[in-house]
Amino acid sequence: MTQTLAAAATEAPSGVDTAFEELYRSSRDDVYAYVAGLLRDRSAAEDVTAQAFERAYRRRRTFNPGRGSRRAWLFGIARNAALDELRRRRRGARLVTDPEDDALAPAHEMAEVAVRRTALRMAIAELSPRERELVALKFFAGLTNGEIASVIGTSETNAGTKLHRVIQKLREACDEAA
């Protein structure tokens, strides 16, 4: 995936292709994380990520800077590709919620972290697919509220409000579990 898209982006000398190459290099890991979070399947996420970049490359001349950033435009394409895959599978989106531990902690702290993760996993499972998508865009892909707004087709204020409500819902569910 990486080699073919990067090669395609560097073959043509135009400024648009250079811009696409930069977009690819700066966004590929975030797009993959977002798609993997929605699909919960690494192999499928690789395929959908490649498909999203291929679609974006083919449509690169249709990008309109007046409608948002290139990054938000790309995530909109990735979102559509992931939703196409989910529809194909006819199942709901789920997020991967267990980050890797960087350092070992004392046993009592590890037990507390495990309890929190379990509570969070259960809380996320109770979210609607739309709410899980907001969590994935914000925390897996690292998009700003403005970029999220462009991806989901709403105002930045509305995106921020929706995200705030989802986070509050998660906090309440985790507090109840504790």
Residue-level pLDDT at 92: 42
- Cα distances from 140 to residues 107, 130, 157, 162, 178, in angstroms, run 28, 15, 20, 17, 24
Answering whether pTM is above 0.85, one says: no
| Domain ranges, ordered by start, for the chain | 1-92, 103-178
Quote the distance between the C-alpha of residue 149 and its chain's center: 13
CB atoms within 10 A of CB 146: 16
Closest-CA residue to 134 (of 11, 124, 29) = 124
The torsion of the CA quartet 48, 132, 42, 115, rounded to 10 degrees, works out to 170
For 103-178, the fitting CATH number among 1.10.10.10, 2.60.40.2480, 3.40.50.2300, 3.40.47.10 is 1.10.10.10
Residues with Cβ within 8 Å of residue 39, at least 6 apart in sequence: 45, 48, 82, 85, 86, 93
CATH number 3.20.20.140 is the correct assignment for the domain at 1-92: no
- Averaged over successive runs of 10 residues, the pLDDT of the chain (178 residues) comes to 47 63 92 87 92 93 88 92 84 47 60 79 84 87 89 91 93 82
Residue-level pLDDT at 2: 47
Residue-level pLDDT at 29: 93
Are 115 and 94 in contact, with CB atoms under 8 Å apart?
no
Residue-level pLDDT at 75: 92
